[in-house]
Amino acid sequence: MPEEPCQCPDCQRFYREHDRLIRENPSLRQQQELSWAALQAFRTLAGRVLEELQKHYPEPDPTPAPAPAAAEAEPVAPETEAIQQAMGDLENINAHLFSIEALMERIFDVRVPEEVEQKFREVAGELAPDPLNADRLRLNRLLHQTPDLPDRG
Ligand SMILES: [Zn+2]
């Protein structure tokens, strides 16, 4: 029994976006530029947000002077705690993006002959209009881990 692709709104949005990226960037060169631009945009935006947060929510002093016994330590507001958590998460994301960039640089050094680029365009034309493309379904499963629902029909 062939597996039906999930048709939930998230998956459908993914299918459309996946196909659009192939249709509009059907060569190796274009895929390289696209991925590089996306990575850099992600880094720029996440990095700037982190900077902004760091300005408004300075790190708690790691070595506070011992509080006088009478003074109660001021409780951290829950929303501040959530922001601190988010800042830590963003720092991790930025570190991962930095690592990805180092790996991508190698991928992006590659240049192929026009013959091969032509093959890319050919295959892209075959892939993008196919709503049941196997590679796409595989990618989709990686991004969207909920089990496939039975077809509504
Ligand atoms: Zn789905």
pLDDT digits (tens, 9 = 90+) for 78-137: 788 899 999 999 999 999 999 999 988 888 889 999 999 999 999 999 888 655 556 666
Give me ligand 1 centre to Cα 145, in Å: 8
The string of pLDDT tens digits covering residues 32-59 is 999 999 999 999 999 999 999 999 887 7
Rg (CA), the chain: 23
| 8 CA distance to ligand 1 middle (Å) | 4
Q: How far apart are CA 138 and CA 141, in angstroms?
A: 5
Q: Which two tokens stand for residue 3?
A: 């597996």
Distance from Cα 134 to the centre of ligand 1, integer Å: 15
CA of 144 relative to ligand 1 center, distance in Å: 6
Separation CA 72–CA 58 (nearest Å): 21
Residue with tokens 């800042």, as numbered in its chain: 87
Cα(32) to centroid(ligand 1), Å:
27
Contact between 4 and 141 (Cβ < 8 Å): no
Provide the CB-side half-sphere exposure for 67 (13 A, CA). 7
